[in-house]
Every structure is written in structure tokens, then in C-alpha cells.
Amino acid sequence: MATTKTNACRILDQLKLTYETREYTVDPEDLSAETVAAKVGLPAEQVFKTLAVRGDRNGICLAVIPGNQELDLKALAQATGDRRMEMVPLKEVQAVTGYIRGAVTALGCKKDYPVFLEETAELFDVISISAGMRGLQIFLAPGDYIRAVQATIAAIAKDKG
């Protein structure tokens, strides 16, 4: 079976980075990272979700955090140099990133937005990110992901509360 090549995969190929893709069945009613994690066989803290966030000074950036946590907007503002951060409204996410909800990835976004990666990513040999379409995840080494998207490492996630 031919695996699907997304723009995210093509970018990793161009950078000659090693990765693996894993397909899963999509439930449009449940796009949570925890559900994706269960379907691809990884703990939720190893499956990272990409969130589009807007700062009051520096505009849009992407926050990449573990699936079992939520974004700490104050910590992200500190990392970006913004005073205030807010999530990009769902209706704007596709226009901003070029991706639909449940498929947002920093690889191959419409623009090269600054990417902030939760520091716990570096604890793992492999992390999982969206391949840019629902139903497909990319598994790769955190260091390769950091290089591919020029991510800034920061403590930007907190336990869901």
C-alpha cells in the first residue's frame, strides 16, 4: 500500500530527515490528541499538537505541546515577548495555516511562523506530530523536528485543569 505523502513529509524528505508515518482511522467527532495517541500506539505525552496562537506584539506563532496538556498562554507570551496571547479562532485556523483542525502542523504552513515547542519533547526518542492531514501522523526524533521547523524550546504547557 502506498503511503500518503503530504507537504510535511516532502519537507522532511528534502531535509533528508528520518521519519515514519502512521495512519489511523479518523473520528471527526473526536479529534483530540489523546484519541490520536491511542490509535497510533503512543502515550499522549509523546503525541504533540500544533496550536495557532496570536500575540499582541509579534502576531501569529505556533505552539507545539503534548496531547495530554494544555497551552500556558502566560508562559508562551513570556517566550515570544508578547504581553498577551490568544488562540487563533477555529474559523481562522485554515486561512492562517493552510490546514484544517486536527491536521495543523508547523511543516509546510502557509507562512513560516515562529514555532515554540514544549521542552518535554526532548525527553523522548521519538515524538509524533500531524502530517498535515487528518488520519496521518509523523513519528520523528525531537531534534530533527526542532531543526526542520527551527523551533524554540520553552516550557509552554501545563496540566489540564
Q: What is the CATH number of the domain that holds 14?
A: 3.90.960.10
Q: Which pLDDT band holds residue 3 (cuts at 50, 70, 90)?
A: low
| pLDDT for residue 72 is more than 60 | yes
Q: Could you report the per-residue pLDDT of 85-104, keeping only the tens digit for each?
A: 999 999 999 999 999 999 99
Is 36 inside a domain boundary?
no
Q: Could you report the per-residue pLDDT of 99-144, keeping only the tens digit for each?
A: 999 999 999 999 999 999 999 999 999 999 999 999 999 999 999 9
Is 136 inside a domain boundary?
yes
Q: Could you report the per-residue pLDDT of 16-62, keeping only the tens digit for each?
A: 999 999 999 998 889 888 999 999 999 999 999 999 999 999 999 99
First to last CA, the chain: 42
- φ and ψ at residue 118, rounded to 5 degrees: -55, 130
Is 35 inside a domain boundary?
no
Is 37 inside a domain boundary?
no
Is 141 inside a domain boundary?
yes
Is 1 inside a domain boundary?
no
Number of compact structural domains in the chain: 1
**Structural domain boundaries, residue 121:** 7-30+42-159
From residue 83, how far is each of 22, 74, 107 by CA, in Å?
Answer: 38, 8, 27
Q: Provide the pLDDT for residue 48.
A: 97
Is 2 inside a domain boundary?
no
Task: Give the three-state DSSP class for 54.
Answer: strand
Please state, in angstroms and rounded to a whole number, the distance separating the CA atoms of residues 23 and 146: 23
> Contact, 39 vs 130, CB < 8 A?
no
According to DSSP, residue 30 is labeled B
Q: Which pLDDT band holds residue 1 (cuts at 50, 70, 90)?
A: very low
Question: Can you tell me which residue has the cell 492562517?
Answer: 96
More confident residue, 4 or 87: 87
Stretch 140-159: mean pLDDT: 97
Is 20 inside a domain boundary?
yes
